[in-house]
Amino acid sequence: MSVHIDSYKIFSYDTTWKNGKESKDTELKHMLTSKECIQGKKFLQLLEELEDAWHGDYGQHNLNIEVTFEPVKK
């Protein structure tokens, strides 16, 4: 049995810079949302690809995931 994710929202935040200095503020830099079903394994591959595309080899980011299981609507 494989896990299917029915919808997802992925957000990437980064610190802002002011006068050549990194501030403590963050802002939304990238966002991807979908209501299309995706297999769990494919979702993990997507996360890896987005991390590389959005952040490359620089900077470090924490990854926070929230999962909600809901009953199937009939």
pLDDT in tens, 33-58: 999 999 999 999 999 999 999 988 76
What pTM was computed for the model?
A: 0.81
Task: Give the span between the Cα atoms of 27 and 71, in whole angstroms.
Answer: 34
Task: Give the span between the Cα atoms of 17 and 66, in whole angstroms.
Answer: 29
Q: Given this model, what pLDDT does residue 30 score? A: 95
Q: Where are the domains of the chain?
A: 4-55
Q: Closest by alpha carbon to 33, among 18, 16, 46, 23?
A: 46
